[in-house]
Amino acid sequence: MGGVELIIIGVAAVAIAAAVGAFTIAFRRAEPDSASLWPKRVERRARLADRSAPTMDVVVETPPEAEETPEEVTAALEEVESEQVLAPMTETQVIVEASPEEVGVTRRQFFNRSLAAMSVAWFGIMGIEILAFLWPKISGGFGSDVDAGNAADLVPAMTDAAGLITPAFIPDARAYLVPAPIEMSEQFAGKDVEAGGLMALYQRCVHLGCRVPWCDDSQGFECPCHGSKYNSIGEYFAGPAPRNLDRFAVHVSEDGRLIIRTGVIVESPRAIAQSVSYPQGPSCI
């Protein structure tokens, strides 16, 4: 995954998290104040009984105050002054009540919203990954046109004096370059799978997708996973593979460069007859 794709995924994840946070805050603010709902929580019979209760006048009798003499008043003042003491200084604890928004969120609501936020983030990231996988690549690499080199120099480098072949592997194209036979099979006619005397075979086995290595001894491709075998140009020979090896469309540019079009994969059924001889020696598997 390239740096641009990672940046896109990061920006999308931050945007999703911000949207979920804004939704959570807005949803909490939209909830009614719990203090204003207390009348609804009181039973109707209790409210009716409170309204219908009769009112009664209460008379409170206070005893008559006795008159005090000046001597008694003076003595009382002196007694109070003698008993006065300094009150100790105490720290006052300020209690801050929680807001209705903080009190109104239950544990169930918290976990439900957290689960919803994680689900949205997961689906968002998966969607971005799928788009990144399906988006066409136009900046090079697999899925685009790959320059394999000068076509005139590739064929001699693959064949030795005894006529044995050593395919050239092109990592960016995930393909083996092999010499094309003089007479091409009719199933490849008009499909642009040969250019400059070369063919580009996809490295993937058509059975279960393993990478198929080249066997110098037998002069063919042999899959070690389940034993599928193909000749030097990818025609099916044996094993569970359902068809020939897939191949890419190729062409030679104006300046003589062999271009592998990895965005164009050509499939073909099992060959009825082998275009090249195989095996030419012992098998590697």
Same domain, 192 and 262: yes
For residue 58, the model assigns a pLDDT of 56
Same domain, 131 and 235: no
> Would you say residue 275 lies in a domain?
no
The answer, yes or no, to whether residue 118 has pLDDT greater than 60, is yes
> Would you say residue 227 lies in a domain?
yes
Provide the pLDDT confidence category of residue 185 given band limits of 50, 70 and 90.
Answer: confident
* 279 or 71, higher pLDDT: 279
Provide the pLDDT confidence category of residue 226 given band limits of 50, 70 and 90.
Answer: very high
Split into its structural domains, the chain has a count of 2
**Do the beta carbons of residue 183 and residue 236 sit within 8 Å?**
no
Whose CA is closest to 137, among 257, 263, 249, 251? 263
For residue 15, the model assigns a pLDDT of 76
> Would you say residue 194 lies in a domain?
yes
Same domain, 17 and 128: yes
Whose CA is closest to 229, among 248, 215, 246? 215
Whose CA is closest to 235, among 225, 248, 247? 247
For residue 250, the model assigns a pLDDT of 94
For residue 83, the model assigns a pLDDT of 59
Same domain, 121 and 223: no
Same domain, 197 and 257: yes
The answer, yes or no, to whether residue 135 has pLDDT greater than 90, is no
> Would you say residue 156 lies in a domain?
yes
For residue 101, the model assigns a pLDDT of 62
Same domain, 116 and 149: no
Same domain, 240 and 176: yes
Supply 154's token pair. Answer: 């590739």
Whose CA is closest to 263, among 99, 85, 134? 134
Domain range for 213 is 145-266
For residue 174, the model assigns a pLDDT of 93
